[in-house]
Amino acid sequence: MTVLDNLLDELLASRVTIVDLTAPLSDRTPIIQLPPPFANTQGFSLQEISRYDERGPAWYWNNISAGEHVGTHFDAPVHWVTGQDGLDVSQIPTQHLIAPVVVVDKSAECVQDPNFLLQIADLEAWQQKHGPLPDGGWLLYRTGWDSHADDQAAFLNADETGPHTPGVSVECARWLAEQAPIIGMGVETVGTDAGTAHSFDPPFPCHAFLLGAGKYGLTQLANLAKLPPTGAILVVAPLPIVGGSGSPARVLALVAG
C-alpha cells in the first residue's frame, strides 16, 4: 500500500480529519480599516452575471471583487517594503503550501487583555512542553479572536486610539523571523500584527521582520481550537495572482485521531 493509499484509507475511516480554518467569504467579511491618509482595501462582493434567466437561461455565475487582503488570506513577502525584492504570491514554492503546523494557544490571556502580545518567553515555554517549532512549518497563534469574525466592529475593536487586538511583541516578531525555523505565522485577527502595532518600533513588526525574511503570513483563520498543539499538517491554497502581494486562501488542516 502506498503512502497516498494509506492516507485515503485514514481519511475515509475518519482517523484523519480535515479541519477547515477558512472564514466564510461574503460582503460581511471583516476588512482592515487604515486611518487617513492611507488607502483602504475593497471588501468582498459578488456581482451577478446571470441566474437561469434571459442573461443565461441554464446557468448561474457571478463576477467577484475583493482586495487581495480580504478574509482568510495569505501575505506574500512582497506585501511589505522590507520584502519588496521577495516572492509574490504566485511564486510561493508548492512545498511551502503543505507543511507541518503547530498551535500556540493564548486565548485565555486574550480574553483578559485584547492588547495581549506574544513574547519570546511564551514560545520558549511552549517548546519546553511540546518540542521545537517545526523546521519548514507554520506557527498558528490562537487568540480566540475568530469568535468576533461575524461582527466588523467587534473584530477590529477600535476606539479613538485605534484598534485593540492581540499580536506579537517587537522582540518576538524579530525572533520568529530571524531565529525560528518556521516559514510563516498565522493568526485569527485581521492582520498578523497587533491592533496597536502602528505605534511599535518598528511599526507592524510581524510584517516588517517576517516578510522581510522571506517568510509568510496567514490571517483571519478560524477553528484553531480544533487543532492539536503539534502533529497536524497545514494545506494553504492562495490563488496564484501574478505579481500579487497576497490572496484570499482556502486553509485546511489534516489532523490525526
Catalytic residues: 79
- How near is the Cβ of 247 to Mn ion at its closest, in Å? 10
Residues 6+ away with beta carbon under 8 Å from 125: none
Kindly state the number of chain residues that form the binding site for Mn ion, as judged by CB under 5 A: 2
Confirm or reject binding of residue 188 to Mn ion (CB under 5 A): no
- How near is the Cβ of 189 to Mn ion at its closest, in Å? 11
- How near is the Cβ of 26 to Mn ion at its closest, in Å? 18
> For 108-125, what is the HEC assignment?
HHHHHCCCCEECHHHHHH
Task: Kindly report the backbone phi and psi dihedral angles of residue 110, in degrees, each rounded to the nearest multiple of 5, phi listed first.
Answer: -75, -25
Q: Rounded CA gap, 94 and 243, in Å? A: 16
By C-beta, is 69 or 106 nearer to Mn ion?
69
By C-beta, is 78 or 123 nearer to Mn ion?
78
By C-beta, is 75 or 188 nearer to Mn ion?
75
Q: Of 31, 25, 57, give the one whose Cα is nearest residue 43.
A: 31
By C-beta, is 166 or 254 nearer to Mn ion?
166
- How near is the Cβ of 79 to Mn ion at its closest, in Å? 6
Tell me, rounded to whole angstroms, the distance of Cα 9 from its chain centroid.
Answer: 29
Q: Of 155, 180, 177, 186, give the one whose Cα is nearest residue 252.
A: 186
Scanning residues 37 to 96, which ones bind Mn ion (CB under 5 A)?
A: 69, 75
Q: Which secondary-structure segment (H or E) carries 56?
A: strand 56-65
- Contact 54/75 with Cβ under 8 angstroms? no
Tell me the residue number closest to Mn ion, measured at CB: 69
For the chain, count helices (H), then strands (E). 7, 14
Footprint of Mn ion (CB under 5 A) = 69, 75
